[in-house]
């Protein structure tokens, strides 16, 4: 049986960031990934923010900047121009392989077509994992710390998520799409209990998708694909030019949508990314949160502070993700009339302020600034949000 300081199950952004961080601190690291390549199959639209990615030392070459965001309700539209782009769409495969290259350069070993199947345990502590190699043979690895980065399946932590965002997306080659124009669309015709999107990401490519929520009372039971096909057929009604467009790829994916897992760790085991529910349910954004979680877990792995991983994560990010989940649950109950009223409320909001909300920045300072500068927001919903933050109007 092979032995490592850190064993990482899953080669998504969280696992790769953890591998890089742990290897950079001199630990022996093995990362195993069940798929045949890093970065595929793609299961995410890749929306993110340049400012956040730069803080994580992600090169700009993996980000396509957006110049304008249009937020469309059934009969109302709010438009947000970006004079200085922050909103962006990622080259997902390129970014993931970049993170893999960094992990390898730091000293981590990567093995593909290798899946974890269970845990090794002794005296109440996780001591490694079992798995299957590319020949489908049983294997096992010992490790001082094991990190679960297996995505929504949460194979090792076994978080048992019950509610998910369920997405379907076409990646199109589209020679006529405005590469600076991003759309978010809501309402019962395009995405009941969810939203639809049009995300250009450079070189005449655009991702068009629909995400619905499944698993909680009131969520939609539908598959998103029929809504996606309708969106493509009616794209011109929303100002999207698909003349000459053809699909290059089709994706279907799940993202946990019930908040951070109640338990992010066990002795010898840490969960990162979707395996721990560490994504924003507000817009289904997970990549940058996953990288942050992976870096923290990799830094703490095998150290005396390893047990403090959940506390440290929740202290910095827990508030934001908890409120994102709360807002998501409310939004999925809105009918078309309420969506129209809420999008109308956003009309005239400065782009920088809307960007703060979209980034899931729910720090007290940010919310108070928004409420002070935009009194109508305070009157139509921020008062309740502030109460949850123990703030006063």
Give the tens place of pLDDT for each residue, 1-31: 999 999 999 999 999 999 999 999 999 999 9
pLDDT average, residue stretch 137-148: 98
Does 28 share its domain with 127?
A: yes
User: 199 and 221 share a domain?
Assistant: yes
Q: Which domain holds residue 365?
A: 334-388
Residue 308 included in any domain: yes
Quick one: 251 and 339 in the same domain? no
Per-residue pLDDT of 365-386, as tens digits, reads: 656 656 655 666 655 555 555 4
Q: Which two tokens stand for residue 272?
A: 């990162």
Residues 51 and 69 in one domain: yes
Residues 6+ apart with CB under 8 A from 259: 277, 281, 321, 322, 325
Structural contact between residues 259 and 322, judged by C-beta atoms closer than 8 angstroms: yes
Contact assessment for residue 289 and residue 317, using Cβ atoms and an 8 Å cutoff: yes
* One domain, residues 172 and 54: yes
Q: Is 278 exposed, middle or buried (0-12, 13-18, 19+ CB in 10 A)?
A: buried
What does the pLDDT read at residue 305? Answer: 97
Examine the domain organization and report whether 188 and 145 are in the same domain: no
Q: How do residues 110-139 score in pLDDT, each as one tens digit?
A: 999 999 999 999 999 999 999 999 999 999
114 part of a folded domain? yes
329 falls within a domain: no
Q: Is 105 exposed, middle or buried (0-12, 13-18, 19+ CB in 10 A)?
A: exposed
- Position 392 scores a pLDDT of 32
Q: Are residues 249 and 176 in the same domain?
A: yes
Q: Give, in degrees to the nearest 5, the angle at Cα 254 between 17 and 66.
A: 65
Residue 276 lies in a domain: yes
Cβ contacts of residue 313 below 8 Å, gap of 6+? 260, 264, 278, 293, 296
Number of domains in the chain: 3
Look at residue 393 and tell me if it is in a domain.
no
> Residues 172-213: pLDDT tens digits?
999 999 999 999 999 999 999 999 999 999 999 999 999 999
Measured between alpha carbons, how far is residue 51 from residues 32, 108, 262, 318, 364 in Å? 30, 28, 29, 20, 20
Domain end call among 299, 324, 349: 324
Q: What is the CATH number of the domain that holds 67?
A: 3.30.9
Give the residue from 377, 54, 339, 369 showing the smallest Cα distance to 361: 369
- The answer to whether the pTM exceeds 0.85 is yes
In a domain, 122, yes or no: yes
Same domain, 138 and 7: yes
């Amino acid at each position: 049986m092979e032995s490592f300081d850190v064993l990482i199950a899953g080669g998504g952004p969280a696992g790769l960031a953890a591998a890089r961080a742990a290897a950079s601190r001199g630990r022996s690291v093995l990362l195993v990934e069940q798929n045949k390549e890093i970065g595929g199959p793609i299961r995410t639209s890749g929306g993110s923010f340049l400012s956040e990615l730069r803080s994580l030392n992600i090169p700009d070459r993996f980000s396509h900047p957006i110049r304008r965001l249009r937020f469309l309700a059934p009969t109302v539209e709010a438009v947000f121009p970006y004079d200085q782009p922050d909103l962006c769409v990622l080259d997902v495969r390129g970014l993931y392989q970049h993170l893999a290259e960094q992990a390898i350069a730091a000293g981590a070993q990567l093995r593909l077509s290798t899946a974890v199947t269970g845990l090794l345990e002794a005296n109440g502590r996780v001591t490694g994992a079992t798995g299957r190699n590319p020949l489908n043979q049983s294997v096992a690895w010992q490790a001082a710390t094991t990190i679960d980065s297996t995505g929504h399946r949460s194979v090792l932590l076994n978080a048992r998520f019950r509610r998910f965002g369920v997405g379907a997306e076409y990646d199109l080659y589209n020679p006529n799409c405005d590469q600076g124009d991003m759309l978010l669309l809501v309402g019962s015709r395009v995405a009941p209990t969810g939203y639809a999107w049009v995300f250009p990401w450079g070189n005449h490519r655009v991702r068009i998708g629909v995400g619905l929520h499944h698993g909680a009372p009131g969520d939609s039971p539908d598959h998103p694909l029929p809504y996606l096909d309708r969106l493509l057929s009616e794209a011109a009604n929303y100002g999207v030019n698909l003349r000459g467009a053809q699909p290059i790829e089709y994706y279907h994916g799940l993202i946990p949508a019930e908040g951070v897992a109640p338990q992010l760790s066990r002795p010898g085991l840490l969960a990162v990314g979707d395996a721990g529910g560490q994504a924003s349910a507000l817009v289904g954004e997970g990549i940058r949160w996953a990288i942050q979680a992976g870096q923290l877990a990799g830094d703490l792995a095998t150290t005396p502070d390893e047990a403090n991983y959940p506390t440290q994560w929740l202290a910095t990010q827990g508030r934001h993700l908890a409120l994102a989940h709360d807002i998501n649950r409310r939004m999925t109950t809105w009918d078309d009339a309420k969506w129209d009223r809420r999008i109308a409320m956003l009309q005239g909001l400065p782009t920088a302020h809307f960007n703060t909300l979209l980034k899931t920045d729910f720090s007290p300072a940010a919310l108070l600034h928004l409420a002070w500068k935009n009194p109508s927001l305070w009157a139509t919903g921020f008062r309740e949000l502030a109460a949850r933050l123990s703030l006063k109007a």
